[in-house]
Amino acid sequence: TIPYTRRVQGRNLSRGGMAFLDNSESLPDELVVTLEQDHNRPPVYLLSRVVRRTQVSEGWWEYGVHFERRIHDPFMISRGELAGAV
């Protein structure tokens, strides 16, 4: 299960990953990134791994995540699922 969700402003979005700022230095290493779409299309859920965590100012961290694979139901993900994903 997903322990909690956070809404962040993404930046440097690419096919393989993205960066975002957050005020927590202790996000989990495995995340589900939700990309909202326009034109009433459903969101895209991507199982992702944190590959970079850098403090950019007092109380703010920049995270870089690598998209591992697309998933259809983020609430059916078990912790540690990325370890077995290829």
Q: Supply the mean pLDDT for the chain.
A: 82
- Only one residue has tokens 């703010």, namely 60
Contact in structure between 34 and 43 (CB atoms under 8 Å):
yes
H or E stretch covering 50? strand 44-57
Higher pLDDT, 23 or 9: 23
Residue % of the chain over a pLDDT of 90: 38
Alpha-carbon distance 84 to 86, whole Å?
Answer: 7
Average pLDDT score over residue span 24-50 = 89
Question: Tell me, what's the pLDDT at 83?
Answer: 46
- Tell me the residue type at 66: H
Question: Tell me, what's the pLDDT at 4?
Answer: 59
Q: How confident is the model at residue 86 (pLDDT cuts 50, 70, 90)?
A: very low
Q: Phi and psi for 82 in degrees, rounded to 5?
A: -65, -30
Asked if residue 67 has pLDDT above 50, the reply is yes
Other CB atoms within 10 A of residue 70 CB: 10
